[in-house]
Amino acid sequence: MAGAQARQRGGNADEVSVTTEHGVRIEVDGEIATITLDRPEKRNAQTFATWSALARIGESLPEQVRVVVVKGEGPSFSAGIDLRMFTPEGVPGQGSFSSAAKSDDVTFEQRMRQAQAGFLWLRRPEIVSIAAVQGHAIGAGFQLALSCDLRIVADDVSFCMKEPALGLVPDLTGTKPLVELVGLAKAIDICLTARTVHADEAMRIGLAEKVVAGGDLDQAVRDKVAQLLAVNRDAAIATKRLLQGAQGRSLEEQCAAERLEQAARIKSLFT
Ligand code: CAA
């Protein structure tokens, strides 16, 4: 892995592995993977390298992992895209929006697709992803939190979809989960005003599953992880598949999907 540092803890290679690449740390401890955006001095601002690192984590996630926690080091979950992208110089080695504007359509499409790959895998049925969000989650930061299945937040959280205020659209896979979570009208309100959503509103409109005091965030996440790991793994995967497909199916189709999944479960459990 380019630019990566890897180390093992506990003397046993199977116990805990920690790898860092481009300011993204991944720690795998048995069935739990914890991804930490680790550039607190820049409020975990994200670059194309961040998204490539996230995508690579998704590609190489060990099969035993059932829960993925995504968090940010320091006072903010993430201040969104690195603002150097808006400057002519851009981010060293990664270009700028000015250079991206000059690329041909195919190259541009490919680059955006690669960026989105860093976010998309967090929805896989084989895992449950939890965003542990404190402080600011702006733009790409908000969208990263939206990529996760669940959001547990600190009481100082402030979500903001700032892209439209900067002349951009949210394009890091966040628009669909936002609409699904809060409804179209509220999503339009949040995005087209680029206003801040604080903890109480986030809880009320379904953006957050739980709000806790900042100092209790890690414990609240640990508790949720323990609850998730307590259920049968294969049943969890099949149930997530069913739930994810529900909105796109008619009731009749959904009932058929339930029958199919249950038949597989019962055969696996009782034969
Ligand atoms: N990019 C690069 N650097 C950033 C950054 C960002 N998005 N956000 C903060 N930083 C840097 C600051 O420049 C500062 O660096 P120095 O110490 O070297 O001066 C450091 O992080 C600390 O920042 P603050 O002093 O501002 O920290 P704060 O805690 O007082 O405020 C904040 C935090 C409210 C997040 C504020 O930093 C801020 O508003 N940041 C910009 C947010 C933003 O506009 N992001 C773009 C979102 S749009 C998007 O993400 C688009 C997309 O996906 C396509």
Q: What is the predicted pLDDT for the residue at 11?
A: 40
H/E stretch holding 219 = helix 217-229
Output the CA 80–ligand 1 centroid distance in Å: 7
Cα gap 218→215, rounded to integer Å: 7
Contact 82, 42 (CB under 8 A): yes
Q: Phi-psi category of 104—alpha, beta or left, where left has phi over 0 and alpha has psi -120 to 50?
A: beta
Q: Is the CB of 79 under 6 A from ligand 1?
A: yes
Quote helix, strand, coil % in the chain, to nearest 5. 50, 20, 30
- Take atom 20 of ligand 1 and give the residue whose Cα is closest: 42
Q: Is the CB of 191 under 6 A from ligand 1?
A: no
- Take atom 15 of ligand 1 and give the residue whose Cα is closest: 42
Q: Is the CB of 139 under 6 A from ligand 1?
A: yes
Q: What is the predicted pLDDT for the residue at 7?
A: 44
Q: Is the CB of 39 under 6 A from ligand 1?
A: no
Contact 102, 154 (CB under 8 A): no
Q: Is 103 helix (H, G, I), strand (E, B) or coil?
A: coil
Q: Is the CB of 166 under 6 A from ligand 1?
A: yes
163 CA closest ligand 1 atom index: 48
Entry pTM: 0.95
Could you tell which of 39, 43, 94 is best to mutate to test the pocket of ligand 1, judged by most ligand atoms within 8 Å of the CB? 43
Contact 150, 90 (CB under 8 A): no
113 exposed, middle or buried (CB, 10 Å; 0-12, 13-18, 19+)? exposed
Contacts of 152 (CB under 8 A, 6+ apart): 130, 131, 132, 133, 208, 209, 210, 212, 217, 220, 221, 224
138 CA closest ligand 1 atom index: 47
Q: What is the predicted pLDDT for the residue at 2?
A: 37
- Take atom 18 of ligand 1 and give the residue whose Cα is closest: 42
Q: What is the predicted pLDDT for the residue at 161?
A: 98
Q: Where are the alpha helices (DSSP H) in 63-194?
A: 97-102, 105-120, 140-147, 175-182, 184-193
Output the CA 32–ligand 1 centroid distance in Å: 30
Cα gap 202→196, rounded to integer Å: 10
Q: What is the predicted pLDDT for the residue at 21?
A: 87
Q: Is the CB of 42 under 6 A from ligand 1?
A: yes
Per-residue pLDDT of the chain (271 residues; tens, 9 = 90+): 334 444 444 344 467 889 988 899 999 999 999 999 999 999 999 999 999 999 999 999 999 999 999 999 999 999 999 999 999 999 999 999 999 999 999 999 999 999 999 999 999 999 999 999 999 999 999 999 999 999 999 999 999 999 999 999 999 999 999 999 999 999 999 999 999 999 999 999 999 999 999 999 999 999 999 999 999 999 999 999 999 999 999 999 999 999 999 999 999 999 9
H/E stretch holding 156 = none
168 CA closest ligand 1 atom index: 54
Q: Phi-psi category of 239—alpha, beta or left, where left has phi over 0 and alpha has psi -120 to 50?
A: alpha
Q: Is the CB of 169 under 6 A from ligand 1?
A: no
Cα gap 228→124, rounded to integer Å: 15
Output the CA 226–ligand 1 centroid distance in Å: 34
> Could you tell me how many helices (H) and strands (E) the chain has, helices first?
10, 11
Output the CA 121–ligand 1 centroid distance in Å: 26
